Structure 1
Amino acid sequence: MAAGRGEFFRNLMEGLQRQPAKQAPEIRQPNHGRGRPRPGGRFARQGRGFSGHRRNERQKKVSSRSLGSGTEASYHPSCPGPPKNVSQIKSPPWKLNLLETLPSEILVKILSYLDPSSLFCVSHVSRLLHRLSNDDVLWQRIYVSEFGSRTWKPKTSDKCVVVEDTAQMEDCSASRWKKLYFKSMAGHEMNKWRKDLRDINPYTGLPRQTEWVLRNLNVSWELTLCDRLGRERMLEQSKAHFFESSVIVHWSGGIDLKFHHISTIQLHGVRKEPQRSHKTRKPNWRSLILELDTEPPYLYLGKDRLMKLVLLQLGVIVGIWRGKNQVAFIMISLHFHKLVERSLLGSPACPYSESVVLSPVVDSDPELGLHGYTLHFVLHNTGTEIMSGHFQQLFCRKGQIRRELVELRVIRRTSLSQHRSLSGSIKLPWKGEELEGAVENCCIMSLTLLDEFQKPFWCVSTPIHITMAKRTVSFDYSGHDFQMLYRNPDGEVKMLLVWLEEQKQFFLIGLTVCVPVAKVNKRFNREY
């Protein structure tokens, strides 16, 4: 055995050291045979009389012929030098791009059968398709078929700036008809629902068709809960309760989180596009409406034997199972003012910002901004309306401005004719996945304050709860005195109530709405 191995390695070394005269370095192929190598580079079972020298000569002839013609073989990195005509070397048929072999006219004809959305997606496949899919004639036909004929008149903003970068020049020379088509489509879709929102209800000062537009556009609202570890969970709405000036959105399934584990809550308006097929699902546009951190302090609205309600900022109610600290449901009240715009025109990371329209300055009126207010006030819960009122010609004189607040006295406790009774008991019903109940002494307040020009000045929809009054608020009623307070940087609301034991109902005997003087000065360009 040892003698056999020694002879094998000795013959192998002799074959490796033996070099043919004037011969290029050969590329040895792996020996798949089981035979023993022989002197001179010949191996057993490699071929019938085919020597390594003859194989190398044939490879040299093939290589020289292929490099000369550029059509029979490709350049190999192991060759002694680079080929003279590298550009003439053709790729294998399976590596060719068949689209590049077709004339541009045929490709444009093929692209003309695509719809605009598919054509837009195809433009991101390659540079060739990007250039052809931006053809002006192609997009002009699409525009004419959708909106009718139009003569193109370039504007100053459409002209391209002289640039040196080729990529920027290609972007600048993109189809003007394509830009016009998408601009017209966005405006056409927006004008449809904006036209429906022009009809204003004089009683509320809000568009009449807000609920119809939201339902027609298939708008819903989604919650994104982020825990302390950075994990996110998205929840689709369970129910939506519409009222005159607000909507209450409810989420009650699949939360499975403890309240102290939630770090942030995001609310997005989502427009769900109708799916033509169950196999194709298009992403829905999401518009950020609000984002808040669940940091203390919290306001406890109330509790019953199963549930306790926690009020966060911006009117977010969290229902927590008592004894478990487990979130059962989340409820948010949204005011109708600019709700369609906030649910559609924002981005996933940035909310819709309303353009501030200042009221006209009237120098002939020295107290502009202190009179002529109109208030639409509603108290309700998720199912019924507790109280609704419309109050006009509210005012505040300069001498009545206190604590940098403009006080609008809506219902005076000294005027018995203005007092209002509240229907039924004040409570907020809730419903989990399998259980339901109601928390007493809390409800939803929807407030719409219009200025002198009947434009929305302050709009809010938020939960509110009843507390015991610290002192007697009325001497005309024999009953327990209560109050309801709401305060935020945009204004304050104070309500005084009396509980009549015989009638088993509340009476609203005082209502005052306060707005900051700085807000009035900014709106009416004043310096009160």
Structure 2
Amino acid sequence: MATGRGRLVQQHCRGLRALRWPLGGGGAAPGRAGFRKEPSVKGAAGRTALQQYARWEKDCEKPPTNCSVSLDRMPPEILLKIFSYLDAATLLCAGCVNRRFYHLANDKISGLGWVIILKEKSGREHVLKHVDLSINDASATAVWYGKHWPRLAALSGLDLCGVMPVFMHRPKTPSKNGPRWHSLMAEYNLSDLTGSTMIGCDGLIRIFCLNPGLLVGLWKREEELAFVMANLHFHHLVERSALGSATVPYEPPPHSPLLDDNPEYGLHDYQLHVDMHSSGISYLSGTFRSLCTKKGYIENGYVKLVVISFKNNTEHIPLIGKLGLFWRTDVFDGYIKSCSILDVTLLDEYGKPFWCFSSPVCVRSPRSSDSPDFLGQTYNVNYMDAEGKVCMELVWIEETEEYFVVSLVLYLSVAKVNRWFGTKY
């Protein structure tokens, strides 16, 4: 029989397991779920309208009886013929619908992909096309590896570009040797790679994170490149991959401020979708709705948006499986504990993307924590860029050998909020 600390841990585990909510399907956390309002009507006419509404809603839920054909059920030959009339940008959008569409849309049709350009200090350049590509809920992950990398000491930088054929005859497969249009997406400095942020290691490699969203693996023994991984959020991915030039990235249209009809109310009705994953394995996937904060809830130049509160254990959620980042090369593959890819998609009250990113993150032990000791060892997952910060607190439950997310807070740049709404917080 458990006593003292052990009994408290058991009680906490049972409570959290009972409150688990569906992950992986974009479900909403308890207390954050969106809801659908029925029409507000009164009297006999109102009752009739409600009855019609109920019948209509019921009919919509029934499968069609006179039609058994849907786009997703079409034979692959028919879909390939349809896709052959689409341009590269539209094909990339179609490939993000589901895995079947992704494989069909990339079946020697579009010719669109991603390359890295390794730049030597001497001026020589090495252009490498991605070897692996995986599609996640909110991002794509492209990976490069090989046996003939240039020496790291000779490199000065790395450019990430989208590429597509300059001349493409839609019914035909694009030529592998034809000219390609390069769209610069990001530039990275490699002159002091080992001085940047190392987020994890195993017996063979060390991995370093370069913003935005690039992961570089180095062999421990030789201190040379092992692989490069680019994490590409879907927001504006088509435009960034196809509409820039070789030297100038794509610039989205200027943002027109969305006038806040009640600036004293603060932020309200925000929606967050968050994913943690690696190589097609999802550790966390969920949607949080009706997020809000009062005006004046500002800390050090950031608007604080609480998604999961430590004080409310009904909001605490588990990570599924053993958290880690899988890597591979043409010689070895491996697994780095406590690392993953974090995708964040934050929508404002109008449903417009307010803040989106995909980046490698790692779990670290904090210097101090407000969490009670009886819950278990606490850890932090943090991310920061020019637009905001993500602070996630995890608790490791020894009894069940799993992490629980007990706190998730977004810190949005006040400058970004003011630009977005044309306000002065």
Shorter-chain TM range is 0.7 to 0.9
Moved more, 505-514 or 266-275: 266-275
Paired residues for 1:254-265 under 5 Å = 254-265=147-158
Deviation at 1:259, TM superposition (A): 2.8
8 A Cα contact 2:91 2:105, kept in partner: no
Matched, 1:424 2:424: no
Paired residues for 1:41-120 under 5 Å = none
Query: Residue 505 of structure 1 corresponds to which residue in structure 2?
Result: 402
Query: Residue 227 of structure 2 corresponds to which residue in structure 1?
Result: 329
Structure holding more helix per residue: 1
**Pair 1:396–1:225, CA change in 2 (3 A):** same
Q: 2:300 and 2:309 mapped to 1: Cα distance?
A: 20
Deviation at 1:258, TM superposition (A): 3.1
Q: 1:280 and 1:481 mapped to 2: Cα distance?
A: 51
Q: 1:240 aligns with which of 133, 153, 156?
A: 133
Q: 1:519 aligns with which of 416, 421, 424?
A: 416
Q: 2:354 and 2:388 mapped to 1: Cα distance?
A: 11
Matched, 1:446 2:347: no
**Pair 1:278–1:440, CA change in 2 (3 A):** closer
8 A Cα contact 1:444 1:461, kept in partner: yes
Matched, 1:410 2:307: yes
Deviation at 1:432, TM superposition (A): 1.1
**Pair 1:193–1:309, CA change in 2 (3 A):** closer
Matched, 1:307 2:205: yes
Query: Residue 169 of structure 1 corresponds to which residue in structure 2?
Result: none
Spell out structure 1 runs of 4+ moving beyond 3 A: 192-197, 207-216, 272-281
In the TM superposition, what whole-angstrom CA distance separates every residue of 1:7-29 from its partner, at most 9, and x where no partner exists?
xxxxxxxxxxxxxxxxxxxxxxx
**Pair 1:367–1:451, CA change in 2 (3 A):** farther
Larger RCO (CA within 8 A; separation ≥ 6): 2
Q: 1:490 and 1:497 mapped to 2: Cα distance?
A: 23
8 A Cα contact 2:147 2:330, kept in partner: no
Q: 2:386 aligns with which of 468, 489, 505?
A: 489
Structure holding more strand per residue: 2
Deviation at 1:425, TM superposition (A): 1.3
Q: Which amino acid aligns with 1:343?
A: S
Deviation at 1:356, TM superposition (A): 2.8
Q: 1:354 and 1:280 mapped to 2: Cα distance?
A: 30
> What is the alpha-carbon root mean square deviation over aligned residues?
2.8
- TM-score of the superposition, structure 1-length normalised? 0.59
Local SS of the residue matching 1:376: strand
Matched, 1:470 2:367: yes
Q: 1:491 and 1:390 mapped to 2: Cα distance?
A: 19
Deviation at 1:307, TM superposition (A): 1.0
Q: How many residues align?
A: 332
**Pair 1:491–1:485, CA change in 2 (3 A):** same
Deviation at 1:292, TM superposition (A): 1.7
Identical counterparts, % of pairs: 32
Deviation at 1:383, TM superposition (A): 2.7
**Pair 1:277–1:209, CA change in 2 (3 A):** closer
Query: Residue 56 of structure 1 corresponds to which residue in structure 2?
Result: none
Deviation at 1:369, TM superposition (A): 5.9
Query: Residue 382 of structure 1 corresponds to which residue in structure 2?
Result: 279
8 A Cα contact 1:380 1:444, kept in partner: yes
Local SS of the residue matching 2:267: coil
Moved more, 399-408 or 440-449: 399-408
Q: 1:306 and 1:318 mapped to 2: Cα distance?
A: 13
8 A Cα contact 2:265 2:295, kept in partner: no
Q: Which amino acid aligns with 2:134?
A: H
Q: Which amino acid aligns with 2:369?
A: T
Q: Which amino acid aligns with 2:250?
A: Y
Deviation at 1:277, TM superposition (A): 9.2
**Pair 1:280–1:486, CA change in 2 (3 A):** closer
In the TM superposition, what whole-angstrom CA distance separates every residue of 1:61-108 from its partner, at most 9, and x where no partner exists?
xxxxxxxxxxxxxxxxxxxxxxxxxxxxxxxxxxxxxxxxxxxxxxxx
Q: 1:428 and 1:196 mapped to 2: Cα distance?
A: 26
In structure 2, stretches of 5+ residues that fail to align are 1-84
Query: Residue 349 of structure 1 corresponds to which residue in structure 2?
Result: 247
Query: Residue 54 of structure 1 corresponds to which residue in structure 2?
Result: none
Deviation at 1:209, TM superposition (A): 7.4
Query: Residue 298 of structure 2 corresponds to which residue in structure 1?
Result: 401
Deviation at 1:392, TM superposition (A): 1.0
Larger radius of gyration: 1
In the TM superposition, what whole-angstrom CA distance separates every residue of 1:387-428 from its partner, at most 9, and x where no partner exists?
011011111212311111011100001111111100111111
Local SS of the residue matching 2:248: coil
Q: 2:148 and 2:92 mapped to 1: Cα distance?
A: 36
Query: Residue 224 of structure 1 corresponds to which residue in structure 2?
Result: 117
